[in-house]
Amino acid sequence: MPRPGAQPRASRISPTWSRRSCSNWAPDGAVLVGNSIGGNVGARLAVRSPDLVRGLMIIDGGGFEAASLGSRVFCTMMSRPWFVRLVYPGFSWWYMRPRTSADKRARADAIATTRTAAGRKAVAQMWHSFTQPGHDLRKQAVQIIAPTIVVWGRHDPVLPLQAARTAHDLIPNSQLIVIESGHSPHTTDPEAVASHLTVLLDAAFTAGG
């Protein structure tokens, strides 16, 4: 699932691509871990293809809150590559709240992505996807049957903690873990995230045989 510093392709963040990849690489099912849009794509795959998802970790994932007018306007602006190049360095500092060396590396990689035409186009396409009806998971999340851990940064300014609580309330038998971080708890406190992921992996594959 895409991370902040990944070189994205719009075609590679869709549930269709994810379903095909899981079918090819892990036909017996996989544990999916996704941050931000990756968490959204993983959740949608868990709804549409439950047989392919043996466990799910959503890290500050989108789609669990109603879009405000301000967020819709900002997503529309971020759908324009020129705007991405203009604002991303400052915006990435604001939403990632970088503290650790891993945070800083992820932010640097993400900024580098927006310095190429292909990277800006992919980032703009991702932001455009946030405005589409399929991004909203609130009516679908109850269908997720895979063991799920919702991990959230307490200080995420883009997707506030209330969105995490909504995801936790909607997804049956899910667990909510709050970490002192911004939008990327997996780079701010990777040990904490890994410890919960280990438990999820053990549960998913022990239960599944």
The confidence score (pLDDT) of residue 23 equals: 86
The confidence score (pLDDT) of residue 13 equals: 57
pTM for the whole thing? Answer: 0.90
Which pLDDT tens digit goes with each residue over 2-59? 444 444 454 445 667 778 888 888 888 999 999 999 999 999 999 999 999 999 999 9
> Could you write out the DSSP letters of every residue in the chain?
---TT----GGGSSHHHHHHHHHHH-TT-EEEEEETHHHHHHHHHHHH-GGGEEEEEEES-SSSSPPPHHHHHHHHHHTSHHHHHHHHHHHHHHHH---SHHHHHHHHHHHHHTTSHHHHHHHHHHHHHTTSGGG--TTTGGG--S-EEEEEETT-SSS-HHHHHHHHHHSTT-EEEEESSSS-HHHHSHHHHHHHHHHHHHHHHHHH-
The confidence score (pLDDT) of residue 27 equals: 87
The pairing of strands 53-59 and 175-179 is unpaired
The confidence score (pLDDT) of residue 130 equals: 95
User: CA-to-CA distance for 175 and 173, rounded, in angstroms?
Assistant: 7
Over the chain (209 residues), the average pLDDT of each successive run of 10 is 47 68 88 96 95 97 95 97 98 96 97 97 95 95 97 97 98 97 98 97 77
